[in-house]
Amino acid sequence: MVVIDGVSDRGSVTPLSSARKPNLDKLAKMGINGIMDTIKPGVRPGSDTSHLALLGYDPFKFYTGRGPIEAAGVGIELKEGDVAFRVNFGTVEGEGSVFDKVVIDRRAGRISDTDELVKAVNEIDLSNFNVEFVFKRGSGHRGALVLRGNLSDEVGDVDPKEMGKKVKRCVPLVEDDKARRTAEIVNYFIQKSHEILDNHPLNLERSKSGLPKANVLLLRGAGKVPHLPRFEDRFGMRLAVISGTALIKGVVRVLGGDVIEVEGATGGKDTNLNAKVEGALKALESYDFVLLHIKATDEYGHDGDFEGKREFIEKVDKALEPLLSLDFSEVCLILTADHSTPVNVGDHTADPVPVTIVYRDVRVDDVDEFSELKAYKGGLHRITGNDLFNIVLDLINKAKKFGA
């Protein structure tokens, strides 16, 4: 399964429809096509919920919050009672406490080297609260925070999710002493980390160079350790992922799958596409289900960069050329996206995404282009993420009979 993150768009001409992509188009001609609502029509997918759906897990039943998945993705082993958050390094400006300041960049200029900042934040002392924490970097500007103690995940986000707004105070979402205590600890941690980061030598140097400081931690997606049935136990297949993105690694880890690390897989625009494709093809020798995730198309969508997104799609197409040599009597190939990220919106939307399945005996349709503007004419018509997984299980003869 190749997931080109956020690849689809809006309008009569899109980066995907206008890109030169002979390999993707050839695969579309070889297979059966359709459009897909990864969650369901009109529901804007997160990358975590959509990937759960694509892997056969109903997110309305199994999703417990983004934080625990992100934490698993960066390699934090969650324990019972831990509360995990997804973290962005961001940039704030203004006077007063961190909660008086305005977020001017939710990604701190897409900072890529945060090791020294993470090390500094890890010096914070929460012993007065009788709480421990684990903070690790993810790819780029991302990270994960785990609070360890008698805490609650029923607390709100710190991240305002929009630039030009103030940092939000963490608030309890229920009338509960544990939730109130957790919110108090989060707010203390955010203020202390801001004081450390704002004056850190790396940020002072960034400021001198005209780069935005990575001077605030924007937390969101609080959740506790999920208890999900293992992918191999449910479907009888060994699962592996190749991705430079901690969140997607985390989805696979919480399902009991393996993460295959590939040199140069950054989760960004500089990722080593050829190495990722080569690694995915090699993984097919040892695993039954391989997920290859490509992230940067989503980043270009978030940045509102039409030309950048189109050019990167063309790079992806070139890198995927080896897929044409697969033996489709033995390998079932799925090409799709987890959601749309239109450049004129700059965020995920519920617009359906294209999907192509190439495998022996599929009912090849008349679609001749891998595009959100052509895929709806295909034989799959309009399906959901869970539909896709069920269709694939049936094609590879692993579906269970319903009824006698």
pLDDT digits (tens, 9 = 90+) for 42-93: 999 999 999 999 999 999 999 877 788 888 888 898 888 789 999 999 999 9
Same domain, 250 and 390: yes
Question: Please, are residues 278 and 323 in contact by the beta-carbon 8 Å criterion?
Answer: no
Whether 242 and 379 share a structural domain? yes
173 contacts 163 by C-beta, under 8 angstroms: no
pLDDT of 70 reads 85
Which CATH number do you get for residue 361?
3.40.720.10
| 347 shares its domain with 253 | yes
Same domain for 269 and 382?
yes
Structure confidence at residue 139 (pLDDT): 80
Residues 288-310, mean pLDDT to the nearest whole number: 97
Tally of domains within the chain: 2
138 and 113 fall within a common domain:
yes
Same domain, 232 and 377: yes
Out of 177, 200, 224, pick the residue that ends a domain. 224
Residues 108 and 134 in one domain: yes
Same domain, yes or no: 115 and 234: no
Domain that includes residue 142, residue range: 72-224
Of the candidate ranges 12-26, 217-231, 281-295, 355-369, the one whose mean pLDDT is the lowest: 217-231
Note whether 56 and 126 are same-domain residues.
no
Single residue among 224, 242, 272 that ends a domain in this structure: 224
pLDDT per position as a tens digit, 107-130: 999 998 899 999 999 999 999 999
Nearest in space to 291 (alpha carbons), one of 48, 51, 1: 1
**Which residue in 5, 1, 2, 3 sits closest to 299, CA to CA?**
5
Query: Do both 17 and 89 map to the same domain?
Result: no
pLDDT digits (tens, 9 = 90+) for 147-177: 998 899 999 999 999 999 999 999 999 999 9
Final residue belonging to a domain, choices 177, 193, 224:
224
Q: Indicate the DSSP class of residue 323.
A: G
For residues 233 and 227, is the Cβ–Cβ distance under 8 A? no
pTM (whole model) above 0.75: yes
Q: Which of 252-256, 339-343, 365-369 has the lowest mean pLDDT?
A: 252-256
In this structure, are 98 and 164 located in the same domain?
yes
**375 DSSP 8-state letter:** G
- Does residue 226 register a pLDDT over 80? no
Percent of the chain predicted with pLDDT > 90: 88
Strand order in the sheet with 32-37: 258-259, 239-242, 289-294, 2-4, 333-336, 353-358, 32-37, 381-384
The H-assigned helical ranges of 268-404 are 273-283, 296-302, 306-319, 385-395
In whole numbers, what is the pLDDT of the chain averaged over residues?
95
Say yes or no: 82 and 187 in one domain. Answer: yes
Three-state secondary-structure class, residue 144: strand
